[in-house]
Amino acid sequence: MFGDALGQDAAVRRWRVDITKAHPARVYDLFLGGTDNYPVDRAAAAAALAANPRGYLDIRHNRDFLRRAVTTLTAQDGIRQFLDVGTGLPTQENVHQIAQRISPDSRVVYVDNDPVVLAQVYTLLTNGSEGRTDYIDADLKQPARILEQAAKTLDFDQPVALVLAAVLHFVEDEEAYRAVRELVDALPSGSRLVLSHLTEDVNPEAIGAVRRTYTERGFTFVLRSKRDVERFFTEVGLVLEEPSVVPVHRWRPDGAAPSPEQADPAHLATLDAIEMIRFHDINDVTEADINIYAATGRKA
């Protein structure tokens, strides 16, 4: 499965990392408390946080949506295969950990194109006696390659959950809809699409300021409306599941969002805004704080 990708020498992987340009996966990981980043990533995260001081709620609620969606699909819908594209850096409660805790025979394939993610891949690849976890070094814009490689682990005659969590807003319209269409077309009946996406429908001023900080750093950053997000489902014939496309914290809330870490007040006083994020309670959220939609859909 991994071939040359996992056989690369660590020095080669480091050489592939462009530390002069921020990467979405590393910036996202920073908001989740990750440490695999570079000064340019911290600068991008700091600028985004300055533009929208409560923007971390989008990212952390997006992560909690992923927990709820994978739990629902595994425990209630019987899904045993997941294709997570744009997975980002390993963090707590990755897809395979959630799914295999419920059903040990679950199979999960992660896809990303960041060398730092590749360098951390062994953290994800914890195969149990029944299930399997694999990784593909590829871009969302390469659906044919993704499907070819994923077929070495996943059985495309059985339902697969395609996970596109907070990744499509980094892809321009034509390429984004094409990629989703080609990936969904390859999935059998009963498969699911799990999707979340940033929008300017709710708080355009704040999220618009965040977009400017990212586009200035060379990111593609497309904010789509609710109708545009629905199109990812309706254009490929997927049936939107309840509660349809909603703000991410409103997708089947279960009251089990993680509690904030605790720390001595003297220590907290030494932290910067990014370091403070993990000590904030994400349950302290208002409708105006959330700029990301979430939904799941089923292939008939």
In Å, what is the CA distance from 67 to each residue of 101, 194, 213, 253? Answer: 12, 11, 28, 11
pLDDT digits (tens, 9 = 90+) for 64-101: 999 999 999 999 999 999 999 998 777 778 899 999 99
Per-residue pLDDT, 129: 59
What SS3 state is found at 254? coil
What SS3 state is found at 107? strand
Indicate the range of 52-66, 222-236, 242-256, 269-283 predicted with least confidence: 269-283
pLDDT digits (tens, 9 = 90+) for 157-206: 999 999 999 999 999 988 999 999 999 999 999 999 999 999 999 989 98
Position 142 pLDDT exceeds 70: yes
Peptide bond into 253 cis (omega under 30): no
Share of the chain above pLDDT 70, in %: 91
Cross-strand bridge partners of residue 295: 195
In Å, what is the CA distance from 296 to each residue of 28, 160, 230, 234? Answer: 22, 13, 10, 12
Cα–Cα distance for residue pair 122/128, rounded to 1 Å: 14
pLDDT digits (tens, 9 = 90+) for 120-134: 766 556 655 567 889
Two tokens, residue 91? 């963090």
Position 293 pLDDT exceeds 90: yes
Mean pLDDT of 203-210: 90
Alpha helices (runs of H) in the chain, residue ranges in sequence order: 3-7, 10-16, 24-31, 39-51, 56-75, 95-102, 115-119, 121-124, 143-150, 173-185, 204-215, 226-234, 265-268, 273-276
Per-residue pLDDT, 89: 74
pLDDT digits (tens, 9 = 90+) for 20-46: 888 887 888 888 887 778 898 899 889
